[in-house]
Structure 1
Amino acid sequence: MYFDDFVVGESFLSPARTITETDVVNFAGLSGDYNALHVDNEYANNSIFGGRIAHGLLGLTVASGLFTRTDLNRKMASSLLALLGINSWRFLGPLKFGDTIHLEIEIVSKEETSKPDRGIVYFNRKVVNQRGELIQEGTTPMLIKRSNTNL
C-alpha cells in the first residue's frame, strides 16, 4: 500500500496479546521505572486500582508491536518510511495484569508534503481490553511513499 491507496475512515484490527507479570517485571527493569503501583503488592492493593497495574508506557509499547502484526502493516511494509510521532496519546484506564488487549486502527487523515514522492497518513490507534474498555488512545502520523516513486 502506498500513500494514494489509503482511504480516510478505513479501519483495521490487530491480533490480541495478554499482559503478564513477566512483561511488567521486564519493562520495569528495562525502563528503570519501579513505581510502587507496578511492583509493590501492598502499596498497590491500597491504591485506587486495588492491585498492581502495568506501566502505561508498556501498553503503548505493546500497542506499537501489535500494529506491526496487522495485515495493514504487511501491506505497507515496502512503502513505510518513518513513524513521525505519537500525538495526543491518552491513558484512559488501567492496564491490568492478565488483560488481553488488541488495537483498533482507523485512518483519520492524509496530508500532502512538500516532496511529491511521499505523504503523511494519520492513524488513530485505540488500545482495547477483553471487556471492550478503551484504555489508551492516540494518533500516529507515518510518512508513506507514493506509488511510482524511486526512493
Structure 2
Amino acid sequence: MKTDLYFEDVVIDEVMTSPARTITPDDIAAFCALTEDFHPLHTDAEYAKSRGFSGLIAHGLYGLALMEGLKTSMKLYENTSIASLGWDAVRFRQPVLAGDTVRVSFNVIDKRLSSKPGRGVLTEAVRLLNQCDEVVIDARHAALVLSRHA
C-alpha cells in the first residue's frame, strides 16, 4: 500500500479503496451524543421504518465524516497532509443503515501547485460504497499536501 504521498506521487484517476467498516447502532448513538442530533430516524428503528427506511439510519454527516476517516486510515498522506480545504457537491444518494458495511473509493481528478512553495492542491472524487457496491454518498474533496519542490 502506498503511504506518505507527496504531490508529485499522486496519479490522476488512480482509484484507491479503503478497508471496510461495519456501521453499528452504537456508532450511530455515539454520533448522536457527539452532535446533539437525536432525531428519531437515528435513535428509533421503528420510527425510521414508519418513514420508509428498513431500519435505523446513520446521519448523512456521519457518513461524510467516516469517508474522511476511512481515507485517513489508508495513511496515504500521513506525514504529507497539510489541510483539508473543504468538501463540495456532497450528495446523500442512499441511506447508510445500521449493519451496512461501507468502504471509500476515491481518485484524484485534478491537481495543481499552490501559490505557496512546497505545496500542492488535490481535488478528489470520493464515494462511500455499501456492501452491495452501491454509492451511498459521493462528494468532491480538496486537500493541501506537501510537494517535494519548494
Taking structure 2 as the reference length, the TM-score comes to 0.91
Q: Distance in 2 between matches of 1:41 and 1:5?
A: 45
Counterpart for residue 112 of structure 2: 111
Counterpart for residue 125 of structure 2: 124
What is the root-mean-square deviation in Å for CA atoms of aligned residues? 1.3
* Percent identical residues: 36
Counterpart for residue 143 of structure 2: 142
Which secondary structure does the structure 1 equivalent of 2:58 belong to? coil
Counterpart for residue 45 of structure 2: 41
1:82 equivalent to 2:83? Answer: yes
Q: Number of residue pairs matched?
A: 146
Q: Distance in 1 between matches of 2:17 and 2:70?
A: 9
Q: Distance in 2 between matches of 1:29 and 1:115?
A: 40
Taking structure 1 as the reference length, the TM-score comes to 0.90
Which secondary structure does the structure 1 equivalent of 2:89 belong to? strand
**C-alpha deviation, 1:51, in angstroms:** 2.4
1:14 equivalent to 2:18? Answer: yes
1:13-52: CA deviation from partner (whole Å, max 9, x where unpaired): 1000000000011111111111111112332121121322
Counterpart for residue 101 of structure 2: 100
Q: Distance in 1 between matches of 2:60 and 2:105?
A: 17
Correspondence 1:53-64 to 2 at 5 A: 53-64=57-68
Which secondary structure does the structure 2 equivalent of 1:115 belong to? coil
**C-alpha deviation, 1:112, in angstroms:** 2.5
Q: Is the 8 A contact 2:102 2:129 kept in 1?
A: yes
Correspondence 1:58-73 to 2 at 5 A: 58-70=62-74, 73=75
**C-alpha deviation, 1:148, in angstroms:** 4.0
**C-alpha deviation, 1:146, in angstroms:** 1.1
